[in-house]
Amino acid sequence: MAGTARGRLALAAATLVLAAGGAYMAAQTSRPAQVMRPVIRGTHWAAASMKPEATLAAERILRAGGNAFDAIVAGQAVLGLTDAPNNGVGSDAVALIYEGRTGKVWSLNAEGTAPKLATIEWYRQNHKGTLPVDDTLLSGTVPGIVDAWYILLDRWGTMSFGQALAPAIEMAGKGFPLNDRLASAMRGTKKLLKYPTSAAIYQPGGRQFRGGDIFRNEDLARTLSRMVEAEAQAAPKGRREALRAARDRFYKGDIAREMADFSEKNGGLFRYEDFAAYTAKVEEPVYVDYRGYRVYKNPSATQGPAELFLLNILETYDLKAMGLNSPDYIHTSVEAAKLAFADRDKYLGDMDFIRIPYEGLLSKEYAKARRGLIDPKSASLDLRPGVAEEYVPGMQPLVRPMDYTLAGDGDHAGDTSYITVVDGERNIISLTPSLHTAFGTGVVMGKLGFSFNCRGDYYSLVPGQANALEPGKRPRSTLQSTLVTRDGKPFLATGSPGGDDQCLRTMQTFLNMVEFGLNVQQAIEAPRYSTRAFPSSPYPHVMYPGDLMLERRIPQEVRSALAARGHKVAMQGEWSLGSNAAITFDPATGVISAGADPRVDAYALAW
């Protein structure tokens, strides 16, 4: 009788899987060609970001004769106003850059650094051995975006700070109508009320802003104007010296001293020397080749390479035959993601402080070994980092403790922003700036008009862990950008807010195009999955074994088939697991196609 019962259960499970596949095929056959947003096409330039005003600011610079580097500085400065909870002058950032003239790809690392006073021992003695999560100056790192602006303008741009920051200064000083999302965040972010300097800007006199209200941040306008003033004073020395003067006023001048003074008086660990010593870095990116496409990621202090580990694992599967969002496709992808993110936690961090064995991690041989751990019929529930150093000749084993918990609440979502721009010379920038979560630390720095990112809550307080806190160290961020080439020519620039989910979002967009033939807008809008079955980046690094989230547009039968394999499936809103923007390129026609996610306020323009 027991054997017969088991047989009936097995038959039922098999029928369920077949039914799910049938439902998927029916859904694909009947899928309408219409999308929520159109593909935006041009031949000269394109811009796409998380807010229409930022995209328009980039367009304004391009039409005025600036290049993509000038435009992205202008666009992100405006994005810091209209998407203020998620990015701003206090942001950290990463970018990938394609030089149109040379075809060279660069990584720009503008991740923040920990103050020199920030040590594991300090937090043990003064904060009960814990990290504050997305609140207080103790969760912050040094802002990196201003130095990123400087590098972009100095090394590749053509315009001045005065020209690039003019749209943001105008908007901040004269005011702009609030979008509904920003107004809601200003009303609903309770930590802003704890800090008088923050409440004075975002809820002055207790005011509750609504969508359509005019909002001003005159303090921020003055801060940016001070940088432009320094540039103008140094202009007789030449463009490079003038740009440097604007940058140095922020990191070494009176702005830096005001940040340091405010920090010391309000319980922060930042001191003048932390700002004066800061520098963003131009680095060589890392990449893998996936079926003729070269996918680039930032190498240091970022989770981006985890997407490369994931693509390497998936490369030999026939994903197209499985079918988009079929049970087999989602199961295989999620199981590969668990392995990739386990390696993220063991290996990735600030390369100035740790060695990352990329020779092994990015090898096809290592991916083959990792692929062998995937059970096609059963969801894994364990964190299983590999031993990539075995694939590096002569390298000794790395002994690194893991730091995660299965208890408590973990934030895998986070808050970030994104903007990408291409110009007529085919210079391309894919930029991801972030405050991390809900106005970052929540503490507006005195009269400067901005708060710091709260990326400091990503560190580990376990000595020897890849992401262990050290003075001057950059945390391993969730920030990541994507550039893809084919035969050395640009194919795709994309990125997405979303904390730990960023790699999964950009990977799904990429695979939707190259495996399933969707155009850029269809690829962005397609139903998505996500998982939290690995440690969250923010403290205390919570993992939810077996977790799997699906947008409700994925058929119920697919959910049931995945649950039968042991996934703990939760259905999410129909349009809830994404916030992409992307630009794609057709080298045969010269056409640029831009897409933007209808799940959020993202907009694209092209000409």
pTM value > 0.85: yes
Helix, strand, coil percent values for the chain (each to nearest 5): 40, 15, 45
3-state secondary structure of 573: coil
pLDDT at 28: 46
- What are the beta bridge partners of residue 604? 48
- Burial status of residue 553 (CB atoms within 10 A of its CB: 0-12, 13-18, 19 or more): middle
Domains of the chain, residue spans: 40-282+413-443
Inter-residue contact 554 to 529 (CB < 8 Å): yes
Query: What does the pLDDT look like over 438-447, one tens digit per residue?
Result: 999 999 999 9
Inter-residue contact 317 to 310 (CB < 8 Å): no
pLDDT at 33: 60
Task: Say which residue the tokens 């993509």 belong to.
Answer: 68
Q: 272 CB contacts (<8 Å, ≥6 apart)?
A: 256, 257, 260
Query: What does the pLDDT look like over 137-172, one tens digit per residue?
Result: 999 999 999 999 999 999 999 999 999 999 999 999
Encoded tokens for 176: 């702009």
Encoded tokens for 28: 């694909």
Positions in the chain whose pLDDT score sits under 70: 1-33
pLDDT at 15: 34
Sign of the CA dihedral with 133 first, then 139, 143, and 144 last: negative
Closest Cα to residue 499, out of 541, 536, 533, 534?
536
**Buried-exposed string 118-150: b where 16+ CB fall within 10 A, e elsewhere:** bbbeebeeeeeeebbbbbbbbbbbbbbbbbbbb
Strands, E assignment, 333-381: none
- Burial status of residue 2 (CB atoms within 10 A of its CB: 0-12, 13-18, 19 or more): exposed
Cα(153)–Cα(458) distance, rounded to whole angstroms?
Answer: 30
Cα(179)–Cα(78) distance, rounded to whole angstroms?
Answer: 13
Q: 393 CB contacts (<8 Å, ≥6 apart)?
A: none
Task: Say which residue the tokens 């140094």 belong to.
Answer: 234
pLDDT at 20: 40
